[in-house]
Amino acid sequence: MLNKKTIIAIDGYSSCGKSTLAKDLAKSINIAYVDSGAMYRAVALYFIDNSLKFTDSSEVNIALAKINIHFDIIDGVNTTFLNNNNVEKEIRSPKVASIVSEVAAIPEVRTKLVALQREMGETNSLIMDGRDIGSNVFPNADFKFFITADPKVRAERRLLELRGKGIESSFEDVFNNLKHRDHIDTTRKTNPLIQTKDAIVIDNTELTKEAQLALILSIINK
C-alpha cells in the first residue's frame, strides 16, 4: 500500500485507544508498530522492582545504564521485554500506571528512550504511538494524528480493558489516574504532550474503532 518508507505518529491523551488504533492500522497496511508508552512503563517497573528513588539523578543514570528494552511478537501479540523478561502484563498494572508519568517526566529517561525510538524508525516504516512522537521523536513524520476523547468514556474503556486482562480496579481510580497522567504529560518541561499544528485531530468519543480506522485509512490513502 505504501511505496516509500513511511513514519506515522499517533499522539494523544491517556487511554484514547491509540494503541488499539495503531495496532489495527499496522496490520491493515502491513508495517511495524511500536508502543512507546510500553517503554516508559518498563522503566517505571524497573524503578519499582529495584525500589529506586527517582528524584536522585545519579541513581536514575546508573539504573538507566542497566535497562534494556526490546519488543517481540509472541503468539501474534506485540510483547514488551525488560532485560529479556516478558513484562507485558506487569507494565499494565495500576502500580505502574500510578508512577509512570512521573518517571516519563525525568529528562534522562526521555533522552534514553527517545534515542531508542528514533533508532527504530531509521531504516523501516513504522507506526509509533505516544505523547511526543509527532512533536519530538519524529517531527518530520509523514502523518501525524492527535487522538482525543471524552475523559469519562476513556476511563470506561480503560476499565473494561483492565478487567479483560484480569486486573481489578474501580471507575474512580481509573478516572483519577487518567486525569493525573494527562496533567503531568501536558505540563512537564521536557517534551510535553502538545497538539502540533500539522497534526490531524480525531475525537473518537462517538466513533467505533472500525470507523476510526476507516477514517485514518482514507486519509493515508488520499
Q: Is 88 in the site for ligand C5P (CB under 6 A)?
A: no
Say how many residues touch ligand C5P, by CB under 6 A.
14
Q: Considering the rule CB under 6 A, would residue 131 count as an interface residue with ligand C5P?
A: yes
Q: Is 47 in the site for ligand C5P (CB under 6 A)?
A: no
- Distances from the Cα of 45 to the Cαs of 94, 98, 117, 163, 183, in angstroms? 11, 11, 19, 20, 21
Q: Does 135 bind ligand C5P (CB under 6 A)?
A: no
- Residue 121 near ligand C5P by CB under 6 A: no
Contact at 8 Å (CB) between 189 and 175?
A: no
Instruction: Compare residues 69 and 221 and give the one whose CB is closer to ligand C5P.
Output: 69
User: Among 1, 31, 14, which Cα is nearest to 128's?
Assistant: 31
Residue 78 engages ligand C5P in binding (rule: CB under 6 A): no
Question: Residue 193 is inside which H or E element, if any?
Answer: none
Q: Nearest distance from residue 80's CB to ligand C5P, in Å?
A: 10
Q: How far apart are CA 109 and CA 173, in angstroms?
A: 26
| CB neighbour list of residue 90: distance below 8 Å, 6 or more residues apart | 45, 96
Give the x-and-dash track for 89-118 against ligand C5P (CB under 6 A): -----------xx--x--------------
Q: Are 220 and 29 in contact (CB under 8 A)?
A: yes
The minimum distance between CB 38 and ligand C5P, in angstroms, equals 6
Catalog residues that contact ligand C5P under the rule CB under 6 A: 14, 36-37, 40-41, 100-101, 104, 130-133, 181, 185
